Homo-oligomer: A and B are copies of this chain.
């Protein structure tokens, strides 16, 4: 299993009350405005979308609050990650991280340098800085998947300045940034000032819409933006994604409610997981998932144990730098989290 959450394989979905802790989606579901106004999209289905997606881009601009930069639209963040990496001949991938970075880099014959997180799952800023001299770009998650750690802006400043001066590119994957809660953690606003930045965002996780397929890139580097756009096909965004953006980004009530939920449940689940016997370490997270180091059990055993109790956990050994001694858990609603904790604590 390459990705988390392949609940379709072997039909394990069928007829079971399965709790999927391998997939990190906001449990509050999609913002109501989306389904309530689905008729708008149904009306638009019969015609081609605006090939320039003017209204869609305006809605994103209003949400992000940065005007004079380029917005690049993708059929999921997957397309944006892939095409941004394709523009470089060499790149640092900060790992462990989302496996697609490496798959994409290899596909485009992009030379890879790896910068490993420390044993405490913290970014090694010095290592990134040293390796930057030999490459054109770096890709880093903020917060990073699978551990949920965010970039320390003070420690990152030197890297930012170096890249800006030396025409290197920093790709920051912020697919989970909304879960962090405080706006100061994200780098979208920095694109106004730093041409070296390329920020990737999506509606997938926070707005609970993986089925819609929509992600986007933000950069002031118009040469990079043009390189990516030239590789894209026309009409790559469907009309339901246009609707999703329209009714999600403006739904302040949904956003506020989601932030209240994640702050409370992140604290709750983290503390409860710290008391689980088969965990040697639970890593602090700013995202909606938690990485755990196992004790006296491997991922396969714990996966099988949980599956029997109708819970799916994310094995983490296919993340570069991790091994069978790690798993990742989503943060869900209180009822589900309690069910998860009960199951995990029952293992001894």
Contacts and interface: CB of A to CB of B under 8 A. Distances in A.
Given A35-B42, A211-B45, A238 B235 contact: no
A212 B34 CA distance: 16
A25 B41 CA distance: 17
Interface in A199-248: 208-213, 230-231, 233-241
Interface stretch (A2-10, A164-172, A175-183): A2-10
Interface in A53-88: 54, 75-76, 78-79, 82
A16 interface: no
A297 interface: no
Copies of this chain per assembly:
2
A100 to B, nearest CB: 7
A38 interface: yes
A191 interface: no
Contacts of A210: 45-49, 235
Interface residues of A, number: 50
Contacts of A76: 233, 235-236
Given A25-B46, A29-B46, A46-B29, A238 B238 contact: yes
Contact of A233 (B7, B82, B211): B82
A107 B235 contact: no
Contact of A107 (B48, B231, B239): B231
A54 B8 contact: yes
B213 A235 contact: yes
**Majority-rule SS of A interface residues:** loop
A41 B236 contact: no
A5 B193 CA distance: 37
A237 B50 CA distance: 20
The CB with the most chain B CB atoms within 10 A, among A6, A79, A100, A210, is that of A210
B45 A208 contact: yes
A66 B87 CA distance: 39
Contact of A51 (B8, B42, B51, B235): B8
Contact of A211 (B8, B48, B51, B234): B48
A23 interface: yes
A41 B230 contact: no
Contact of A212 (B6, B9, B239): B239
5 contacts: A23-B47, A30-B45, A76-B235, A107-B230, A211-B240
Interface of A: 3, 5-9, 20, 23, 25, 29-30, 34-35, 38, 41-42, 44-52, 54, 75-76, 78-79, 82, 100, 107, 208-213, 230-231, 233-241
